[in-house]
Amino acid sequence: MHDEERHHHHQEESCPCCGRDPERGRDRGQDRGAALVDEAIGVWQDAFHQACRELQVELLKEKLRKAWGRSMDDIADQVVEMMRNDWKAAQGDKKAGERHETLQKDLVQKIIAAYSKGPR
């Protein structure tokens, strides 16, 4: 019996207990280690791209706030009011339902007006 056979009890098949893969002539653990390193690198790359995206969003937020801040605030107020009326309408308040429709039409007009003016 060869030394390798003596040390390993499953010569012809993969070994679930120790990870040996006779087709490749090495332990699957080595492949797993390389895969883990590749995965770790990928995670770092993903984090880098995410951080760049978050920075881009922050920079754009600042610019948009300066350019469209007042219009966006007005639109946000309208959305809150519209949703409040939507909730009341869902509870059976017919006047709130009508008010919701009016607010929604007004909101569309405000959005069109704000964006067609462009940034200040």
11-20, 27-36, 83-92 — most confident range: 83-92
Per-residue pLDDT at 60 exceeds 80 = yes
Q: What is the model's pTM?
A: 0.48
Number of domains in the chain: 1
Question: In terms of residue numbers, what domain contains 85?
Answer: 3-117
Query: Which residue type, as a one-letter code, is found at position 78?
Result: Q
**Average pLDDT over every residue of 28-54:** 89
Q: Tell me the average pLDDT across 21-29.
A: 55
Residue 36 pLDDT > 80: yes
